[in-house]
Amino acid sequence: MNISDFLDADKILLHVHGTSKAEITDQLIDLFADDERIRDLQKMREAVHAREGIMSTAVGNGFAIPHAKTEWVSDIVMACGLLDKPIDFEAPDGRAVELVFLVVCNEDKVSSYVQIISRIATIMNSDGLAKRLAGAQSPEEVFDLLHKEEERIGLCKCTRGVGADGRVSA
């Protein structure tokens, strides 16, 4: 189970603009508007915002992982956004958030969901990764950096990658 198994380059946004947690999260949720795995986009949105209302999903070190479990998705869905300007996400270390990962799953996928959130936290605490991600020029480059970091720290038994043509392979 790898981040690269659930994150596709078309679900990675560069230059996300927003001034609030809700605004940033909504932009990531909107990436799933035509996704067949989403049974009801508005209900998914409500689940993510309800979870964020319980306790901030900011982890520290400049990133957050808004997440939710809901019957309104059929599988695990994931998106990533790099913010143009850091915003307050109520992180435990007080640092503004620059990178946001959205993870939403069906209630029967909880074990995998917890593993994915854990992997995100693990790789994002790697030295220098956040800086490399901030300098990425394309969604494919973000995907490739995450994939390579999973491999580097020994988490990845990856079956996907970015080819020489820049396309994410299955």
Helices (H), ranges, 31-167: 41-54, 110-124, 129-134, 139-152
* % of the chain exceeding 90 in pLDDT: 69
C-alpha distance from residue 4 to each of 37, 38, 119, 156 (Å): 17, 19, 11, 9
pLDDT at 133: 92
pLDDT class for 15, splitting at 50, 70, 90?
A: very high
One of 3.40.50.720, 3.40.50.970, 3.40.930.10, 3.40.47.10 is the CATH number of 3-152, namely: 3.40.930.10
- Mean residue pLDDT of the chain comes to 88
What tokens were used for 159? 């079956």
Predicted confidence (pLDDT) at residue 90 exceeds the cutoff of 70: yes
pLDDT class for 78, splitting at 50, 70, 90?
A: very high
pLDDT class for 2, splitting at 50, 70, 90?
A: confident
Per-domain residue ranges of the chain: 3-152
pLDDT at 167: 42
Q: What is the rounded CA–CA span in Å between residue 120 and residue 162?
A: 19
